[in-house]
Amino acid sequence: MLIKIDAIVREEKLEDVKKALNDIEVNGITVSQVMGCGAQRGYKHYVRGTELDIVMLPKIKFEIVVSSEEWEAKTIRAIQEAAFTGEVGDGKIFSYEIRNAVKIRTKESGYDALQSKFK
């Protein structure tokens, strides 16, 4: 089973999360700078008691594809511990099944595409 994990974390947690993922030896990471809001909608603008707008705050998105539910759990745990502050805005982690992965160099697909020969 191929599972994708998307984690949206605080900008200042980039290095901590990267280190945590490196420590558990995931075989690939994609990182992007994104904008988003959660339950607080960034923060709210009020003018004379009327809510005007939502605000998108800069966040960091990690994308990791793993090849088992064990790796899914391990990866989520590592991100959760590294990204935690306890304050609102710590972020969210989403995981879902994906259909396929293809390693362009070797033409391997599925499980094989995600294995590392460098261990």
Ligand X SMILES: Nc1ncnc2c1ncn2[C@@H]1O[C@H](COP(=O)(O)OP(=O)(O)OP(=O)(O)O)[C@@H](O)[C@H]1O
Q: What is the 3-state secondary structure (H, E, C) of 30-85?
A: EEEEEEECCCCCCCCCEECCEECCCCCEEEEEEEEEECCHHHHHHHHHHHHHHHCC
Q: What are phi and psi of 74, to 5 degrees?
A: -65, -40
Q: How far is the CB of 71 from ligand X (least distance, A)?
A: 22
Q: How far is the CB of 4 from ligand X (least distance, A)?
A: 14
Q: According to CB under 6 A, which one of 14, 29, 31, 57 is a site residue for ligand X?
A: 57
Between 28 and 38, CB nearer to Mg ion? 38
Q: According to CB under 5 A, which one of 38, 41, 74, 110 is a site residue for Mg ion?
A: 38
Q: According to CB under 6 A, which one of 3, 21, 26, 59 is a site residue for ligand X?
A: 59
